[in-house]
Amino acid sequence: MLNQLFTAIYSGTFTPEIFFICTGVSLALGALIALTTGFRSKQSKSFLLALFLIPAIVQTVIMLVNGSVGTGVAVMGAFSLVRFRSVAGTAKEIVSIFLAMATGLATAMGYVGLAAIFVALICLVMFIVSFVHFKEKDDLVRDLRITVPEDLNYAHEFDDVFATYTHNAKLLTVKTSNMGSLYKLIYRVELTSEDNVQKFIDELRCRNGNLEIAVMMPQLESNRL
């Protein structure tokens, strides 16, 4: 019984019944992939719809080019162009797309049982990982914006404060403001702890004359491939 799950349901040419079975399985697995990808993450409706339909589309294309080497090479070239015409996606989105395409390939070859087991295992892992928060170094990286008066020598004014509350600090931008009477500084800092942000800001306020200070999340692309 278990061996039948890893056996193709057809060989050679496919019949209308086989086509509808494979398409139905592809759509069901595509729905599971879309639901798992959208769980606890913000995804657009169009992207989830694409994940839902990709397995069935890939499955149909592979069935049509079965046995034709020339047509298969042409389809492979068409698939490769899709990546270059799309915006950069997150790692999770790219994994979901590859999963959807692999599902379509498996069902196109008739391995519907194998496809179902494979998708169920991957979706289960994605579901479990969505509840786990991996503490990364980038979680403590922030953009620090400080406004200082023009007579303040900002080059080394904050070194001791940075040494206390950050692992490292790098000055990214210096910009004049208010007709040159103020400087706006932007640092990229790695905090030692999120709990000390208020104390960090209070000590900086004592140095910059209680002018504006902002600590915010940086515009990082660390989750993109």
- Taking the CA of residue 202 as centre, how many other CA atoms within 13 Å lie in the half-sphere pointing to its CB? 4
Whole-prediction pTM: 0.63
What span, in angstroms and rounded, lies between the C-alpha atoms of 217 and 190?
Answer: 11
Closest by alpha carbon to 200, among 183, 187, 218? 187
Residue 35: its pLDDT value, please? 93
Residue 14 to residue 55: CA distance in whole angstroms: 17
Cβ atoms of residues 91 and 224 within 8 Å: yes
Which pLDDT score, from 0 to 100, does residue 103 have?
Answer: 92
Fold classified for 137-216: Alpha-Beta Plaits (3.30.70)
Write out residues in the chain with pLDDT < 70, as ranges.
Answer: 1-5, 67-89, 133-138, 219-225
Amino acid occupying residue 136: E
Q: Residue 198 has what pLDDT?
A: 92
Of 209, 201, 161, 216, the closest CA to residue 183 belongs to 209
- In order of 108, 178, 183, 204, the CA distances from 207 in angstroms are 67, 19, 13, 5
- Give the model's pLDDT for residue 72: 61
Return the domain boundaries, the chain: 2-129, 137-216
